[in-house]
Chain A
Amino acid sequence: MKKLGALIAVLVLAAVAAVGLASCGGGSDSTSGGGGGGQKGGTLVGTYASFPDYLDPALSYTAEGWTAMADVYIPLLTYKHANGVEGSEVVPGLAKEMPKISNGGKTYTLFLRPGLKYSDGTPIKASDFPFAVERMIKLNSGGSPFYLTIEGAEKFAETKKGPIPGIKANDKTGEIVINLEGPRGTFTNELGLMFVAPLPQDTPIEDLSADPPPASGPYMITKSQPGKEWEYERNPYWAKANGKAMPEYPEGNVDSAKMTVIRNPETQVDDIEQGTYQWMQNPPPASRYQEVKEKYEGTQFRTEPTISTYYFWMNTQEPPFDDVKVRQAVNYAIDAKALERIYAGQIAATQQILPPGMPGYEKFELYPHSLDKAEELMKEANPSDKDITVWTDTESPNNEAGEYFNEVLKELGFNTTLKLINADNYFTVIGNLSTPDLDAGWSDWFQDYPHPNDFFQPLLAGESIQSTNNNNFAQYDNPALNKPLVELAEEQLSSEQEEGYAKLDKETMEEAPWAPYGTRTLSTFVSDEVDLESVIFNPTFGHYLTSFEFK
């Protein structure tokens, strides 16, 4: 009996060890985040400092929204689940393979993977793609300008009627053919954005943030209380269908996740330290940044360089900022060094539209800080309208950056009113042209894809000015920019084009619709239960939910 007992004990131990080893082997090989030694399952409890602008893939155009939905809605193409430059690579998503580009760069042909299903069991069809494009345009999404080169899309945007003739979809074969008005070198990147992720065709044409549409990714959003919290569970059809059809896409480690909005980043840091929450999407507040970095770097904290531009915009259509001299004066008056301190070293000073790391970036300094020069230009311009409203959001340190900007404008002789808008809906408010007094304010931009067009077309091209979900806050419409922008976007990126964008960067800054001041470093901060190494920070989508893994 004693021997039998020992044998049973050995067998039990062996079984436990085997189960343990099996669980350690989970996760997809395709992730480049390292780790992989953790365990599957569990609930990730995370926190955001503000609720995403939308929890609707067609509408969201903020880092918060894209991070929240990156593993929920998969477009035909997507970005590789990897950190850094590798994460900028476009790879097939719901499409079988990368598009076949023909007809001089004007026709894109893709095939949907067979057997895909949404989280409600509805089969994913090729015709869901044109539906998603039409839905996005009907909703006046900020992403619309990327897709207006599709044949008939511009007319559709005006009339909001009829199918877009430039997209043909065959549900039987899964073939999707997209015809463009002209060649567009960035279109592959743009097919990888969430705006055009296929959705079931009975999805209402309205903001669905409170009841997000069915998912195509490994996770689905099961509950959403805008402004407060949202929850994820595994998509039941991922293991049955989608995961089999796209085995290279990570299935994720945690079984569920709950995200809560905690508006005080100080509290977020305390909660992570105490293990109440396991991850915070936003960086620690400037007041705690150095402390957290010194204490946890390498174990629970990691800095994440980004390709981003932080800037102050000025409404070029209305006085006083319709005068280039006034805008140049503002650029001279802004001291990027002061803003580096306001951001506690989390931004590096720059005065250009294109940030370092973006193809086409060539450093120049048109407006070295000089209050004297600024005042001289103001004297020359002598604007009659000096009453302006300055906009910023409530999230630190953007609120302080807004206060800094407000004070700079006061020093230049303006009568300013500072408006602080809750970060949840700041961009919705300033992106709505019916909002009164949109004179000047704070904004930022993180790359959607690694192409300089992304920093010009949605933000500064005349065609991007739209009544709602507008991203061209400066309302800048300059033919000298619009024309070369279209031409440059036609071709694939080459050194010649990079030179073209560098020239455009300088020429646009000579017109000074913005006062750019820095490029941001973000971070990953997790509790000690989470394997930091496994967490992926993608340059487009931020932290992937599928990459989180408990130790």
Chain B
Amino acid sequence: MSTEPSAERGPWSLALRRFLRNRLAVASLGVFLAIIVFVLAAPLWADHVAHTGPNKEHTVEQITVDGEQKDVVTPEGKPIGPQWFGAGGKFFLGADSRLGRDEMVRLMYGGRTSLLVGITAALLATILAIVLGLLAGYFRGWVDSLIARSLDVIWSLPVFLIGLAVGIALAVGGLDLGFIEVSGGSLWIPIMIISIFTVPYIARPIRGEVLSFSEKEFVEAAIAQGASPGRVMFTEILPNLASTVIVFFTLMIANSMLFEAGLSFLGAGVQPPNSSWGTMITVGVELLRIQPLLAILPGTMIMLTVLSLNIVGDALRDALDPRGKARMDAALQFEAQAGAGGGATI
């Protein structure tokens, strides 16, 4: 009676089944979703448990812990350690620095910032990479040469160092191009830096895939029917890139979050007093000897998020396209050959 499942189910349903069979990936997705819930709950925790905001300072205040009055910051400048629920949830993880801000609240809000920067930068990089990859792979010739070589140039740069220099310069002066104005402390600065410098990591494999797809029969058929280049690119080729894009997007979120953490740690990313997990590590490092948790906690959150996203990304690749690895290798090889041939025609 039973029929072959693959005959009834669509490719997305099959992919989901394959993904769900990967227990590590499911657990990682659970971890990632838990992190999302954790950071989304920030206002609830801040308003109803900690009764403070992420940037609110309590330097000279005292709290009652199990009936005992304690300084949030001692006169010698030592911030209070984790109080768990001893003070009704206030300073659950202690104070972040001599400014006496609630570490738990900052960790939650900092996670929002880190994820926001990571996801937005990955999204922008992916969109840009799709457009560039489609144009380069479809039109080939000088368009391909121009785009491919530009990507090569970005790829050959010491991306992090340049990102750091640009980040510091823009953090001071902001960005004013006439048509676009971004203030120095804006989150758009790290987002733009990360997205621009990470485009080649997605655009190159997409270009390879497009080069490969553009020789397929369904594309030739569409062209023969008089479809415009835009239509061919966006309605024929782009849907076939979905699995590649989804996989890379997931991995790029993790990459972007690491990039942001690095930039923020060095003062070129998210600007104080806003918190991100990167800036929290910077603050925590100074107090590493007396309150090591202040650096360890945001570091652990970054590690958990990046690790879970990487595992999910890998599992998605396996699930969406079991032959993806072989095809991806072929695409990269194809692209390498195209590159060797001056990026013109194959």
**Which A residues form the contact surface with B (CB < 8 A)?**
266, 285-291, 335, 337-338, 340-345, 394, 396-397, 399-400, 403-404, 406-407, 410, 417-422, 429
* Set B55, B57, B168, B285: member contacting A338, Cβ < 8 A: B57
Q: Which 7 A-B pairs have the closest CB atoms?
A: A344-B77, A338-B59, A342-B98, A341-B73, A338-B60, A290-B76, A417-B185
Q: Which residue of A lies closest to B285 (CB)?
A: A266
Assess the B285–A345 pair: CB atoms within 8 A. Answer: no
Q: Output the residue of A290, A421, A429 with the most chain B CB within 10 A.
A: A290
Interface membership of B99, Cβ < 8 A: yes
Select one of A286, A287, A337, A429 contacting B60, CB under 8 A. A337
**Closest chain A residue to B176, Cβ basis:** A436
| 19 A-B pairs in the complex with CB atoms less than 8 angstroms apart | A266-B285, A287-B286, A287-B287, A335-B59, A338-B60, A341-B60, A341-B73, A342-B77, A344-B76, A345-B77, A396-B286, A399-B272, A400-B97, A404-B59, A407-B55, A407-B99, A419-B172, A420-B272, A421-B172
CB distance from B302 to the nearest CB of A (A): 21
CA distance A382 to B77 in the complex (A): 35
Give chain A nearest CB distance to B115 CB in angstroms: 22
- Chain B, residues 68-99, CB within 8 Å of chain A (1/0): the string is 00000111111000000000000000000111
Are A403 and B77 closer than 8 Å at their CB atoms? no
Nearest CB of chain A from residue B273's CB, rounded to whole Å: 5
Q: Taking chain B's interface residues, is the majority helix, strand, or loop, or is none over half, making it mixed?
A: loop
Residues of B within 8 A of A (CB): 55-57, 59-60, 73-78, 97-100, 168, 171-172, 183-185, 267, 271-273, 285-290
Task: Tell me whether B183 and A418 are in contact (CB under 8 A).
Answer: no
Further 18 A-B residue pairs, CB within 8 A, beyond A403-B273, A418-B185: A266-B285, A266-B286, A266-B288, A288-B289, A290-B76, A338-B59, A338-B60, A341-B73, A341-B75, A341-B77, A344-B76, A344-B77, A344-B98, A345-B77, A394-B267, A403-B57, A404-B57, A418-B272
A287 contact set on B, CB distance < 8 A: 77, 286-287, 289-290
Interface SS, A side: helix
> In the docked arrangement, what's the CA distance between A462 and B287, Å?
42
* Chain A: minimal CB distance from B287 (Å): 5
CB distance from A281 to the nearest CB of B (A): 19
Most interface-central of B56, B78, B184, B286 (chain A CB within 10 A): B286
A residues less than 8 Å from B290 (CB atoms): 287
Quick check: A342 and B59 within 8 Å, CB to CB? yes
A394 to B286, CA, bound (A): 13
Known: A287-B290, A407-B273. A343 touches B267 (CB 8 A): no
Taking the closest CB of chain B, its distance from the CB of A227, in whole angstroms, is: 13
Check A418/B286 contact, CB under 8 A, given A341-B74, A342-B98, A400-B99. Answer: no
Q: Using Cβ atoms and an 8 Å threshold, which residues of chain B touch A422?
A: 168
